[in-house]
Structures are given as structure tokens and as C-alpha cells.
A and B are shown apart, each in its own frame.
Chain A
Amino acid sequence: MATILVIEDIPSVMLSLRVVLEGGGHTVLCAGNGDDGLALLRRGGIDLVITDIWMPGKLGSAVIAEGRGLAPDARFLAITGGAPNGSITPDHLVGAGADFGADGVLFKPFQRTELIAAVTELIPAVALQP
């Protein structure tokens, strides 16, 4: 199965993602902020990065932009529930590229089947070989 890096600042959200992804047989690495996540990505071996967008410190969109340089083969899935001050507006999205530069976007709260479908679609076929 695949090795998935999850970058998410809220522990309970992180836990729920890990539960589902590990339940699907994947190896899950966790980072509570963008810089820690990029450090893990730099070590290599990661097939898919799932990152929150609005986090204290580095924004998910910046993590994706930098991460693509560090791991050209990795795919990126953005997950977002909007911004704490409601400031992520359509204008914002257009400015940032509506998909945050990711290969896919899920809006929180998404369901288990939506997550599994997105992961299955993004992970390279080779990584899915048992």
C-alpha cells in the first residue's frame, strides 16, 4: 500500500484521518504543521500528501508549492473547512488558484467514502500493489 503524509493542526481531525487511512492498509506519517510536514517530505518515500489549508504558520497552499519541488513524484490532496475569520473568499481562491495547487480538494467535513475515493484516485497504481 501507499505511504501517506498527513499535515493537519487539529489532533482530533488528524486522528480520524489516520484511523481511516490505516484501516485501508496505508502507512501514515503525521505532521502538526507545514514545516514539520515538509521536513518529513524531504526524507522521501511519500506517495501522497494530505494537507489542511488553513493552519497556523505555513498555509497548506504554500506547503504544496514547496512540496512539489521537494517530491516531484508525490501527489497532493488539499482538505479545507474554510478560514477561522471567514477570510477565504472566492477572490482569495481565484488568487491562489481555486485548487490551492493540489491534485484534488476535499471540503470538510467529508465522508469516509469520499476520502477513500480521493486517495485511491491519487495514489499511483504501483503504490497500490500489495
Chain B
Amino acid sequence: MAFFDHVPDWRRDGRGLSGSLAWTGTHFGIRGLEERGLEAVADAVCAEDRESFLRIFVPTEEASRAGEFRLGLADGRVVFLYCDASIEMAADGRPARIFGTLHDVTDRRRFEAQLSDILREREMLLAVIDACPISITVADAQQPDTPLIYANRTFETLTGYTRDEVLGSNCRFLQGPDSDPAALRVLHDAVVTGSQAEVRLTNRRKDGTPFLNRLVLAPIRNDRGHVTAFIGLQSDVTDEARREEADKQRQRIEALGRMMGGIAHEINNLLQPITLMTEELIARHTDDAERPYLDAVLDCALNARRIIGDLLAFSRPSGRKAEVMDAATLLHDALVLIRKAVGPGIVMDLDVHSGDDRIAVRADKTAFTQVLLNLAGNAAAAMGGTGAIRIALTPGRMVAAGSTGRCARIDVTDSGCGMDRATLERAFEPFFTTKPIGQGTGLGLSVAFGLVKDMGGEITLDSAPGRGTTATVLLPEVIGDWYHGHHTRH
């Protein structure tokens, strides 16, 4: 601390710094105090604080004033000084004498600076949590019914609710009649027992649209081990679940395909002697009265061969000839045949959206026509034989070996009866049919599946009862010589 007593000489210096200065106590590291008086202090004051320093000395009405300024010392130290001054006025309104005390408040200021660092850090953490791409919520376990006390921005975008709408409420407002009761029980138990839980359940956004929520609940405990709060992490796994479901279905079908291949091997070997020896007998008994019996046996064997052949289209090499061609051409050519096959009550609309940007695919024309025929046949049947089938070709994206990532997407859409979940799950299975005996073989979709797979593509169904069905075929784009020769980009 220091006492100072300054009598400015206003004639020599309009700022009031010159004059006589009496200083008692520490110099705070200021050099030249004795020789240069307040000028030396002014020189030591940090540039940013010079103004607040000078304000202490300027002419004023007030009898006392206080202020703070920093000194930047020659050795690099910064000293925070607090100045408490009294002023005696001269008749002309200018200070005749300024005297008071100076305190070193560096330690206090440094502590406060640290405090604001901590606050800044806290703010930063909050901002980070707020900006996290995963939805984060916190609920107070010490208030009745565990209300939400925090929700980050991702929660708002995920659910469509704003924080103001949800803070203070229990998070179960996201649940609906389609929320899995087993999952709700798990959540309930976790909250009651204060334990961690992870569930997937259907939730609804503010606008009513459902999404599959993967919810992780974790308790927060205080020092004494009491659960004071819960963290809830929400993520929308709707697409992920759909992909998993499609993967599972594909694996099931492939396993089934391998089994079919095995059975086909057995049956083919059984049919071989039946066919050959029956034909040998027919050749030897051309004019025999009992020849029709042999014809009947042969007929059965050939029918069995046809069925096995259909089955194998889905699981076995076909020796087909795949060529690289423009997807739009492929589709046009196939439709010529299909229009004849679907019957007079069915209108086929074709939308080609690939424009000049052609997509080259590798496909066997006959096989592709078969696929489209099976899909169109199903669509026609679903609409009871009258209605419109919309076939659209658009560029799409798929992951396939040796492909550009682009693909030709062919959607076959009908407005027929649609399928419920159970039917949709089994639709690709060989022999699965909901049609009366004689009308359905249950092979249409399984054959289509096998053929599309042969072409390196994918086939999926999107359907709901009453809404109709869209069957989607994706064929990977290939880049070949043909393509380079014909491809034009605008």
C-alpha cells in the first residue's frame, strides 16, 4: 500500500500530471517516482487502462473518487492497483490537491479472473453438450415423477418439442400406444431401482410421426451413493433398424436358397433315371397300348423338373447372358412384352427420370423381363386386375463391389391391397403365397430375388395394407467401354 499527495501544476501541464508528488510506502516497482512524479506512474500504467487512470486527475466537481488500473512493469509483471482518492478543489474548478491510497489488488483480481475462466469453461461444456449430435436429457430424481431439467438442442430437433415445452415434465410424453410394453417396463424398473438401462422403443415426435428411439438411461449418484438424477441419451435408429431387418431377411432367403439348392440336387438326381428310362421305354414301346402310362410318368417328371428349375433360378447358376446396357432401354424393351402379359384392365405408366444422364447396368434381358413380369403380375393381382401400375426409373445409390456407387432404381408401384407385416416378412420366401391354390405358386418374388441378385442388384418391398405396394429394384451402374462411348454429360 502507498499514500500519495499530489499538487498539480496546471500551468506546466494541462493533464495535471506535473507538480509536486509526495509518496509514502511501496513504489509497486514503478521506476523514477522521485524524479518524475506522477509522469512516472502514468508511464507505467498499461495502455488499456491509461484513460481510467487519468480520470482520477481530471478536473471535477466531486470530492472523492476511486478507480482501478493496471501497471505493466519493466520486468513483465502486471500489478492491479486500486486507488481511493480525495480531491480539494481550487476556485477555478480544477483540483488543487489530490491525495489518497493505492492498494495492490493483484491477488484478488487474479482469483476473479480464474473464476471467470471456470465460468467460461462451464459455459463451453454446456455449449458442447448442447451441440452434441446425440440427444441428451437430464431428469431430476429428487422431484416427484422425475421431471426433465435439461434437454439439449439435438433433443429438440429429434422430437420437435422445444425445451420450454418439456422441461418440468416426465419424458413419457414421447410414448404412444405403439411403444413396446416390455421396454416401458424396463424403463420403469430402471427409474425405480436407480439402475442403468438400454431399450429400443417407438416414440412419437410432436407432429405425431413415429421413430424408433434407442434410449440409454444412466443414474447419477451423489457422494453418499443416492441417485439424484438420470441422464437419458436418445437416438433415432429407425433407418438402422430397417436396414438390419432387410439384412436379416436377405440372410434368411440366402440360407433358404442354399437349402433349396441342396434339395434340388437330390431331386434332380432322382428325376434323372425316371426321365431317361421312361423315355427309353417310350422309344421301345411306340405303338404299345400302355404307352400313355409312360407318357404320364414322363409328364410328371418334366413338371417336377420345371418346378425345380424355377426354384433354382433363385439359388443356382443359370448360365444367363448378361450384357451391359442402358437401364432405360432395358426397361422399355421389357415393357413391350409385359404390357401384353398383364391383361386389358391394367394401365402401365412409365416414368424415366434419368434423362440424358444414362445409367449403364449389367443385366440379362430375359431375366430382367422375368423380374418385371413377376412384379407387375403381383401388382395386377393386388389391384384385382384393374388399375394403374407406375414404373419409374431414377438414379439411385447403392453399395456394390466394382460399382460407382450409383445405380438404376426401378420402382414398381401399385395401389392394390398392400401387405401386412407378416406377409411382407415372408413375401420373398419360395412357396409363400396368400393366393388360392392354382393362382399362386409363391415363387414369383423368390425367383425375382434370385435373378436380381445374379445381376448384382437388390430388390426390396415397401408396403402397408390399404396403401399399396412399391417393389424397388436397384441395379448397380457399371462403367465399361460401352459406357464411355455413349455417355454424355451436360
Residue-wise, chain A 73-109 has the 8 Å CB interface mask toward B (1 for contact) of 0000000011111111110110000100000000111
Residue numbers in B under 8 Å from A89 (CB-CB): 261, 316-317
Nearest to A90 among chain B residues (CB) is B317
Highest count of chain A CB atoms <10 Å: which of B266, B272, B280, B302: B272
| Pair B319/A111 contact, Cβ less than 8 Å | no
| Pair A109/B268 contact, Cβ less than 8 Å | yes
Residue numbers in B under 8 Å from A98 (CB-CB): 317, 319
Using A81-B272, A108-B271, A111-B275 as known contacts, say yes or no to A86 and B261 having CB atoms under 8 A apart.
yes
In the bound complex, what is the Cα–Cα distance between A12 and B312 (angstroms)?
23
Using A19-B280, A82-B312 as known contacts, say yes or no to A87 and B261 having CB atoms under 8 A apart.
yes
| Pair A86/B273 contact, Cβ less than 8 Å | no
| Pair B276/A17 contact, Cβ less than 8 Å | yes
- Of B269, B279, B283, which one neighbours A13 at CB under 8 angstroms? B269
Nearest to A115 among chain B residues (CB) is B276
| Pair B257/A81 contact, Cβ less than 8 Å | no
In the bound complex, what is the Cα–Cα distance between A39 and B458 (angstroms)?
47
The prevalent SS among residues of B at the interface is helix
Instruction: List B residues 268-324 near A (Cβ within 8 Å).
Output: 268-277, 279-280, 283, 301-302, 305, 312, 315-319
Query: B259 interface residue, CB < 8 Å from A?
Result: yes
| Pair B280/A86 contact, Cβ less than 8 Å | no
In the bound complex, what is the Cα–Cα distance between A95 and B302 (angstroms)?
31
In the bound complex, what is the Cα–Cα distance between A9 and B261 (angstroms)?
19
Instruction: List B residues 242-284 near A (Cβ within 8 Å).
Output: 257-262, 264-277, 279-280, 283
Residue numbers in B under 8 Å from A54 (CB-CB): 265
Query: A112 interface residue, CB < 8 Å from B?
Result: yes
In the bound complex, what is the Cα–Cα distance between A86 and B312 (angstroms)?
10
Question: Which residues from chain A sit less than 8 Å from chain B, CB to CB?
Answer: 10, 12-13, 15-17, 19-20, 23, 54, 81-90, 92-93, 98, 107-113, 115
Nearest to A86 among chain B residues (CB) is B261
| Pair A85/B261 contact, Cβ less than 8 Å | yes
Nearest to B304 among chain A residues (CB) is A109
Residue numbers in A under 8 Å from B454 (CB-CB): 90
Tell me, rounded to whole Å, the shortest Cβ–Cβ distance linking B123 to chain A.
58
Using A20-B280, A115-B276 as known contacts, say yes or no to A86 and B260 having CB atoms under 8 A apart.
yes
Residue numbers in B under 8 Å from A20 (CB-CB): 276, 279-280
Residue numbers in B under 8 Å from A85 (CB-CB): 258, 261-262
Residue numbers in A under 8 Å from B319 (CB-CB): 98
In the bound complex, what is the Cα–Cα distance between A98 and B276 (angstroms)?
25
Our count of residue pairs bridging A and B at CB distance below 8 angstroms stands at 99
| Pair B279/A112 contact, Cβ less than 8 Å | yes
Residue numbers in A under 8 Å from B312 (CB-CB): 82
Highest count of chain A CB atoms <10 Å: which of B266, B280, B317: B317
Using A88-B261, A88-B317 as known contacts, say yes or no to A81 and B276 having CB atoms under 8 A apart.
no
| Pair B276/A86 contact, Cβ less than 8 Å | no
Return 5 A-B CB contacts under 8 Å, by A number. A12-B272, A86-B261, A92-B317, A109-B301, A111-B276
Tell me, rounded to whole Å, the shortest Cβ–Cβ distance linking B281 to chain A.
9
| Pair B275/A83 contact, Cβ less than 8 Å | no
Tell me, rounded to whole Å, the shortest Cβ–Cβ distance linking A82 to chain B.
4
Using A16-B272, A108-B271, A109-B301 as known contacts, say yes or no to A86 and B262 having CB atoms under 8 A apart.
yes
| Pair A82/B261 contact, Cβ less than 8 Å | yes
Highest count of chain B CB atoms <10 Å: which of A15, A23, A112: A112
In the bound complex, what is the Cα–Cα distance between A82 and B276 (angstroms)?
18
Residue numbers in B under 8 Å from A10 (CB-CB): 269
Tell me, rounded to whole Å, the shortest Cβ–Cβ distance linking B153 to chain A.
48
Using A90-B454, A109-B271, A109-B301 as known contacts, say yes or no to A83 and B261 having CB atoms under 8 A apart.
yes
| Pair B266/A84 contact, Cβ less than 8 Å | yes
Using A90-B317, A90-B454 as known contacts, say yes or no to A109 and B262 having CB atoms under 8 A apart.
no
Residue numbers in B under 8 Å from A12 (CB-CB): 270, 272-273
- Of B260, B262, B273, which one neighbours A15 at CB under 8 angstroms? B273
| Pair B273/A16 contact, Cβ less than 8 Å | yes
Residue numbers in A under 8 Å from B268 (CB-CB): 81-82, 107-109
In the bound complex, what is the Cα–Cα distance between A12 and B275 (angstroms)?
11
Residue numbers in A under 8 Å from B264 (CB-CB): 81-82, 86
Nearest to B320 among chain A residues (CB) is A90
Highest count of chain B CB atoms <10 Å: which of A15, A16, A17: A16
- Beyond A89-B316, A109-B301, 10 extra complex contacts between A and B, CB < 8 Å: A81-B267, A82-B262, A82-B312, A85-B261, A86-B316, A87-B261, A88-B317, A90-B318, A108-B268, A112-B283
